Structure 1
Amino acid sequence: MNGSVHPDNKPLFIQIKEKIEDQIVNDQLLEGEQVPSTTQLSNFYKINHITVLKGINMLVDSGLIYKKRGVGMFVAEGAKEMLLRTRRGAFADDYVAPMVREADKLDLSTEDLFEIITQVKEREAHES
């Protein structure tokens, strides 16, 4: 796993869960591929094994990864699509809805909003 766990408002086990989810979405962990063990993750991030296990168990409970007894944990078939579907819904609720409410306050039309989004995407593409 690339990166590190940073102290923020989220518990460490949630950060571990989200890092693995990000790796699935970004194709760093493919469906059917083995996930790093809890020991590897706890050593890498220098955090308690139980904390890592709690995050892993959340992924197992949600059906994103599964355990093969004595072998390890693996990314489930359909995990990426499940994550994308969930994140798209959250994106609409967390980002688009507030943006639309603010656009209404500013009396921006749908076309205005589309133009602003297009300009920002173009600017971001040039800066990358």
Structure 2
Amino acid sequence: MNLFSNTFSTLENALNYSSTRQKVITNNIANVDTPNYKAQDVSFKNVLQDSIDSIKTIRTDPRHFDLSDDSTDSNVTITQNNGSYNNNGNSVDIDNEMSNLASNQIFYESLIELEKGKLSSLLNVVKGGQ
């Protein structure tokens, strides 16, 4: 018996993604002056693909998306080898990282608010609507 709906597990996965992304961004910021350090990011596509792989899907109409593509790897953290912003070979753009940090914080806080709302609704049901 599943006490909670799939919403809780979806929110938990989203919080895990946001937490992983926060760690990667702060690691990039910490290594802004490290020679030859290449910035990393978290691939949402790979996280999503891992979640989709655990779901059995059947395509019943040609207009439906084909979710059976196995072409992606399961690596969540990717290294960005597309350039160097400093003379020492470092590819961390501090302005971009700070922007990513702020947007990830907003995303995380909104997930927490959604989780609080779900738990509040559950508490209301347990109390009998009082």
Question: TM-score, with normalisation over the residues of structure 1?
Answer: 0.36
Structure number with the bigger relative contact order (C-alpha 8 A, sep ≥ 6) is 2
Q: Counting helix residues as a fraction of each chain, which structure ranks higher?
A: 1
Question: TM-score, with normalisation over the residues of structure 2?
Answer: 0.35
Could you say which structure has the larger radius of gyration?
2
